[in-house]
Amino acid sequence: MRTRLTHRAGGEEGVALVLALMAILLLSALGIALVMTTSTESIIAANFRNSEEGLYAADAGIERVMDDLLTVPDWNTVLAQVNPTRSAFVDGPAGGERTLVDGSKVNLDDIVSLANCGHTGTCSASELTGNATGERPWGANNPVWQLYAYGPVNQLLPTSTINSAFYVTIMVADDPSESDGDPYHDGVTPCAAGVVPPACNTGSGVLSLRAEAFGPRGAHKVIEVTVARTDSSLLERGYTAQRGQDEQNRRARKASVQTPGKKLDNQALSLASGGIS
């Protein structure tokens, strides 16, 4: 009996199984870490892609509505508190929820309220134009944002050639640099040479645009720009100057290559010397 117990105590049966289990456990831990790392990198890449796409989507929305603003003779109709003029780029009534491609929802009313007073629901008159806070320090001249255009980015072009899952809204408001205390009307008496405030309004003929793009995984980008109205003569001079510059660039591309102090008319590679003669 003593010999048998000693033999059992000194045996190594089962050690291989323990080592195999430990190896499996280690390999499993390494595999899980690799999978988590790969998954995390994929999520980071997707978030970065959505962030960049959202920025371009908001910028595309701004470019789209600027064409519509050019056709509006009186910008007061865009700023009107009741029945304002809107862009042709709309996908239904100016309010309510919209469902994105990934199933998430955005509420147009909440988007406007958050831009105007920082919370959802109805904004009070004091929140719109009465308070001078850090984000809205202009008081009575605070911009009161209104929806001007809204819809899926893939409908920005009539050809439907844009492949994007983003939804974009563009709001318009009176420029806060005005001094008339009326955010629902564009300022009058624009400043000109020799005329300075308060005899004129620095914000006359100027609007603020705010584009917000919403996409998958909660992607959200905001762009604010200022646009100014100019007369047709300035636009025509700008187009003429651009055409002239394009013509100069075209001629420069056709001109012969220049080297400092010498005109290079011919290039030839010599097989003997390997140089240029």
pLDDT of the residue at 275? 44
Instruction: Specify whether the CB–CB gap between 21 and 130 falls below 8 A.
Output: no
Which of 166, 172, 114 lies closest to 148, judged by CA? Answer: 172
pLDDT of the residue at 6? 52
What pTM did the predictor assign?
Answer: 0.68
**Domain range list for the chain:** 43-229, 231-277
Q: 42 pLDDT exceeds 90? A: no
Q: 10 pLDDT exceeds 80? A: no
Per-residue pLDDT tens for 104-148? 999 999 999 999 988 888 888 888 887 767 778 888 888 899 999
Per-residue pLDDT tens for 144-188? 999 999 999 999 888 878 888 999 999 999 988 887 888 888 877
Instruction: Specify whether the CB–CB gap between 141 and 176 falls below 8 A.
Output: yes
Residues 6+ apart with CB under 8 A from 211: 58, 59, 61, 62, 168, 169, 170, 171, 222, 223, 224, 225
Phi first, then psi, for residue 226 (nearest 5°) are -120, 130
d(CA 53, CA 154): 12
